[in-house]
Amino acid sequence: MLWLRGNKAGENSVNSASATLKSAQVIAERYVILRLLREEPWGGVYLAQDRLLKVEVGLKFISREVPDFEASRGFLIKEAALAYRLRHPLILTVFHGSENREGFYLVQEPYGGESLLARLNRLERFTLPQALHLLDEVGRAVAFAHEHGVVHQSLNPLNILMEGDRIKLANFACPPSLEEQVGLLELRAYNAPEVVRGEGVTTRANVFSLGVLGFRLTVGSLPYPLTFDEAFPYRLETPLADLEEVPVPLQNFLLGCLAVEPGDRYPDIISFLAALEQSRDLLRGAFREKSFLWQPKPGVSLGDAAKTAAAKLWEKSKIVSRQLWQETKTRSRHLWEKLKPAAAQALDKIKAAPPRFFWGLGLALLTIMVLWSGAKLLKRGASSSQPPVATGPSTLPETVGPPRTAGSTPSNPVIIERGAPAAPRPSHTSQPRPRAVSKPPASGAQYIIPVASYTQLKQALALQNRLKAQNLPAKAVRTSPGGKAVFQVQVGPLTGKQAAQEAARRIKELEGISAKVVEVSSATSSPSTTLRRRP
């Protein structure tokens, strides 16, 4: 096929007279030429300054020196007449047309875009989302024109203008030109077969042109091979070239546009757009299984696109939920119809049961309730009873209670209760006896150190064992303030305040407990009577 590298040579040969306009030249004593925007068939387009309105406009101008000036003038007059019927954001706006001694001109919006043909010469092809979006934009512009009774006479990339991601469809009344120019031979492939044979351009012919455009945008080539020296510009007897490069959901869509016979194509642009949207939905579903490739259309904010997608999703979810609800009701009804005989039969059997069956069932339920209530009462009584006090040696693990220093070893505990004689200290044969603290003298100040109080006996015993391993005279004493058992670990009695303070300092270093030194009377300083109350 023929690839275009540029069409400047062909266009300049047409517009050699129009291209002679220079910067600062004045047309019709009103429009000051600023610069050339682009070359188009049937006239060059310039950016001009309107002296009267003080605004910039686009000026399409064709000189009287052009050999086919009269034919070009007729086409531009038709273009200006159609402009009053085609006011659409995707169609290039033409304000009015006029002529003077230099030639004929159209005043239009100052659109600075280039032709899609020039873009394709550089880019070769678009990405699939861009191609489908561009095809949809052009289709909507053509659909608007068809609604107003206008059929584009030369629907090809040369008459599609692009500025960034925005497009404008132009030159509705101008037929194809310069088909003998090699640089524009590709444009002949956009003409429907019946148009090439001399028939008029119809809506189905525009559908064919859009199909060629869609193939060119997605694949990067034309659907049919071009011919150079034959009357017909392409060979229809050959299958579509590079059809395997078209995604499967788009293949049937393009085949419906490129059918040789007009009756086999989509009947109008509305059907074309509906089929295009259906193919895009199929593509989105196929791509969504692999990766998330959706992106909003150019010119549409992400928030607006998200709102639109959320609205569509909400409508689809309502339809699906309604269908699920109807299906659930139907299945529930069928299930009830199947279970209804079995339920009625079971109910009849229960009604026919003898009275002793119901008496036995009631007695079984009553027995279960009595057993359950008795178990709860027993559990409540067990939890409210007081824990027993150990009177013998304890074998609790050393890890219970406050932390102790490394290297300390537990010893058998001694528990002293108020109102009870002190238990004798058991002898130790398996380990060396720690150095005993000297007994206090019969007279002098005596001190005890309340180290800590616990509600659990095992915690008090653990602390007592660790302190005794450090040669501190510790003992666990049970008290009942307020009727609640509390186990207090005490050190002493010790003679002299200095010795008591030294013992308190060692307790602070070993256990991290700040203990208070309490003075007691000398008359009750013996170990057997220190914390014992006589009846």
- Mean pLDDT is lowest, of 46-60, 101-115, 399-413, for 399-413
Whether the predicted pLDDT of 414 surpasses 70: no
Mean pLDDT score, 31-47: 89
Place of tokens 């387009």: 45
Whether the predicted pLDDT of 193 surpasses 90: yes
Q: What are the Cα distances from residue 134, in Å, to 129, 131, 276, 320?
A: 9, 5, 12, 32
Instruction: Assign 269 a pLDDT band (cuts: 50, 70, 90).
Output: very high
Mean pLDDT score, 39-63: 91
Mean pLDDT score, 13-21: 49
Q: Looking at per-residue confidence, does 390 or 380 come out higher?
A: 380
Give pLDDT, residue 134.
94
Give pLDDT, residue 367.
92
Mean pLDDT score, 269-274: 95
- Mean pLDDT is lowest, of 18-32, 93-107, 277-291, for 277-291
Structure tokens that stand for 236 in this block: 């229809």
Amino acid code (one letter) for 35: R
Share of the chain above pLDDT 70, in %: 76
Please give the backbone phi and psi of residue 3, each rounded to the nearest 5 degrees, phi first: -100, 135
Mean pLDDT score, 68-80: 89
pLDDT, one tens digit per residue, over 78-102 is 998 988 889 999 999 999 999 988 8
Sheet holding 103-108, edge to edge: 26-27, 31-40, 43-50, 55-63, 103-108, 94-99
- β-pairing, 415-417 vs 474-479, is parallel
Give pLDDT, residue 390.
44
Are 491 and 507 in contact, with CB atoms under 8 Å apart?
yes
Instruction: Assign 521 a pLDDT band (cuts: 50, 70, 90).
Output: low
Mean pLDDT score, 282-304: 61
Place of tokens 């070993």: 510
d(CA 449, CA 516): 6
Give pLDDT, residue 405.
44
Q: Looking at per-residue confidence, does 83 or 481 come out higher?
A: 83
Give pLDDT, residue 35.
93
Q: What are the Cα distances from residue 159, in Å, to 171, 211, 225?
A: 6, 16, 22
Please give the backbone phi and psi of residue 48, each rounded to the nearest 5 degrees, phi first: -130, 160
Are 133 and 297 in contact, with CB atoms under 8 Å apart?
yes
Whether the predicted pLDDT of 421 surpasses 90: no
Beta bridge partners of 474: 491
pLDDT, one tens digit per residue, over 210-242 is 999 999 999 888 898 888 777 788 888 777 877
Instruction: Assign 427 a pLDDT band (cuts: 50, 70, 90).
Output: very low
Farthest CA pair distance, the chain: 144
Domains of the chain plus CATH, in order, are: 8-108 (3.30.200.20), 118-290 (1.10.510.10), 384-423+442-535 (3.30.70.1070)
Mean of the per-residue pLDDT values for the chain? Answer: 78
Count CB atoms within 10 A of the CB of residue 329.
10
Give pLDDT, residue 312.
82
Mean pLDDT score, 312-333: 82
Share of the chain above pLDDT 90, in %: 28
Whether the predicted pLDDT of 329 surpasses 50: yes
